[in-house]
Amino acid sequence: MLRVGLSGGIGSGKSTVAGRLAEHGAVVIDADQLARRVVEPGTDGLREIAEAFGSSVLTSAGRLDRAALAGQVFADDTARARLNAIVHPKVAALTAELIASAPEDSIVVHDVPLLVENGLAPAYHLVVITHADVEQRVARLVGARDMPESDARARVAAQAGDDARRAVADVWLDNTGSPDQVLAAVDALWADRLVPYAANLRLRRHASGPPKVVDPDPTWPAQAARIAARLRTAVGDRPLEHIGSTAVPGLVAKDVLDFQLGVSSMAEADGLADALLNAGFPNVPGLTDAPRGAEQDPELWDKRVHSSADPGRRVNLHVRVTGAPNWVWALRFRDWLRADAAAREEYARVKLGLMPEHENHDGSLAYAEAKEPWMEEAVSRIAAFYRAAGDQRS
């Protein structure tokens, strides 16, 4: 099951996106609708709200008077927290029921207005954010919802800003143009990313494709931070490092984010396989590291590899024993390239020189093997670099 979090500021057109995804066959779970369901007449939610805020928040027919309740909680953090403590657990329980009842091969889209504000992004395989500029959102709220402009601006200002949303967005859907434009973008997202991603998860396979070296992308660190948050949600507080070429500022690289996860043993690594698969990172069997330097025992260079099933964001996760030679090598190699401009430029030339031979077929392993002579020669250079820095382990 592919879990997609959908959010965006009020008036950004999130419902348009959700509706189109539902037309394609997504199971859409609307958090706002669930929040209404849990406070319908006769529910525990409505009873608890009346007990907490008084009968003035009920209509004469015994329903929730949303305007009266908003008047109490909108500008009062304590009152809003009390309301959230009543509503949120009930919405979460109902959400879990609906997800559990969806077919296993579903693409579940969870429409959550406050996904960013509540820190929910790492729980999803993918986060989609709809965007429109503030003035356009205010105009929509005033025109389509008959909302006073002052209220519209207050509601926009009370939500997370664009920077916070961009930080969690795997997909940024610009809805400042015509409806046809955003609907076309949703169609492409469904066909090119969501459906293949869901199929990869169902088949327990990773996304693949030929290696292609590209210019440095200044957004790689932000992308890595999003992936790291997702991984930490899956595996807990274990050592996790962004490694490889995309972790070296200014270095050309394959557009693949590499991470290193620390464990105490390969048995512990194997025990994480299901959690990583559930997070979108199936195991890639049969891979290990080539011994380098003085430590030549192959067992010390063992690892497990998990790669992302997402065709739109390639990720390799190397699960290694913390402090083992391959763990240390990955960090030292990254930090050497960060510090040594000449080595960084030389490595870039090697990578670019190998591309013509490997870019037209899915030869990631062959590409890695072709770099081995240069990598092997780098062992002594790295040791010398760290000796000069006073590291006695070199």
Could you tell me the CATH number of the domain that includes residue 264? 3.30.460.10
User: In terms of domains, do 236 and 375 share one?
Assistant: yes
On average, the pLDDT of the chain sits at 92
Residue 64 pairs with which residues in a beta bridge?
Answer: 58
User: In terms of domains, do 95 and 122 share one?
Assistant: no
Q: What is the mean pLDDT of residues 157-163?
A: 88
Fill in the amino acid letter for 391: D
| Predicted local distance difference test score (pLDDT) of residue 163 | 93
Task: Answer whether residue 230 is part of any domain.
Answer: yes
With pLDDT > 90 as the criterion, what percentage of the chain qualifies?
Answer: 74
pTM of the model: 0.89
Nearest-angstrom CA–CA distance, 336 and 381: 9
- pLDDT at residue 391 greater than cutoff 80: no
Pick out the residues of the known binding site.
11-16
Task: Answer whether residue 152 is part of any domain.
Answer: yes
- pLDDT at residue 371 greater than cutoff 90: no
Phi and psi (nearest 5°) for 29?
-115, 115
- pLDDT at residue 363 greater than cutoff 60: no
Pick out the residues of the known binding site for ATP.
11-16
Nearest-angstrom CA–CA distance, 224 and 242: 7
**Residue 145 binned pLDDT confidence (cut-offs 50, 70, 90):** confident
Domain boundary among 53, 79, 103: 103
**Domain span holding position 308:** 213-388
Q: What is the mean pLDDT of residues 66-90?
A: 89
Domain boundary among 203, 234, 264: 203
The 10s digit of each residue's pLDDT in 333-361 is 999 999 999 999 999 999 888 877 766 55
Nearest-angstrom CA–CA distance, 168 and 117: 11
User: In terms of domains, do 366 and 231 share one?
Assistant: yes
* Residues whose CB is less than 8 angstroms from the CB of residue 253 and which lie 6 or more positions away in sequence, other chains included: 213, 214, 216, 220, 244, 245, 246, 351
Rounded to the nearest 10 degrees, the angle between the axes of helix 44-53 and helix 77-101 is 180
User: In terms of domains, do 99 and 69 share one?
Assistant: yes
Instruction: Please return the burial class of 114, using the count of CB atoms within 10 Å of its CB with bins 0-12, 13-18 and 19+.
Output: middle
* Residues whose CB is less than 8 angstroms from the CB of residue 299 and which lie 6 or more positions away in sequence, other chains included: none
**Residue 325 binned pLDDT confidence (cut-offs 50, 70, 90):** very high
User: In terms of domains, do 128 and 236 share one?
Assistant: no
Phi and psi (nearest 5°) for 329?
-60, -45
User: In terms of domains, do 362 and 225 share one?
Assistant: yes
With pLDDT > 70 as the criterion, what percentage of the chain qualifies?
Answer: 97
The 10s digit of each residue's pLDDT in 90-126 is 999 999 999 999 999 999 999 999 899 999 999 999 9
Q: What is the mean pLDDT of residues 68-78?
A: 86
Q: What is the mean pLDDT of residues 2-25?
A: 95
Q: What is the mean pLDDT of residues 250-268?
A: 96
Task: Answer whether residue 393 is part of any domain.
Answer: no
| Predicted local distance difference test score (pLDDT) of residue 97 | 94
The 10s digit of each residue's pLDDT in 188-233 is 999 999 999 999 999 999 998 876 889 999 999 999 999 999 999 9
Nearest-angstrom CA–CA distance, 204 and 190: 19
| Predicted local distance difference test score (pLDDT) of residue 230 | 97
User: In terms of domains, do 132 and 182 share one?
Assistant: yes
User: In terms of domains, do 311 and 221 share one?
Assistant: yes
Give 364 or 72, the one with higher predicted confidence.
Answer: 72
User: In terms of domains, do 86 and 6 share one?
Assistant: no
User: In terms of domains, do 70 and 116 share one?
Assistant: no
Rounded to the nearest 10 degrees, the angle between the axes of helix 325-339 and helix 341-358 is 110
Domain boundary among 203, 235, 265: 203
The structural domain count of the chain equals: 3
Task: Answer whether residue 208 is part of any domain.
Answer: no
User: In terms of domains, do 120 and 222 share one?
Assistant: no
| Nearest residue to 116 via CA among 131, 134, 105 | 131
User: In terms of domains, do 341 and 282 share one?
Assistant: yes
Q: Which of 85-89, 140-144, 330-334 has the lowest mean pLDDT?
A: 140-144
* Residues whose CB is less than 8 angstroms from the CB of residue 170 and which lie 6 or more positions away in sequence, other chains included: 126, 127, 128, 226, 310, 312, 313
- pLDDT at residue 262 greater than cutoff 80: yes
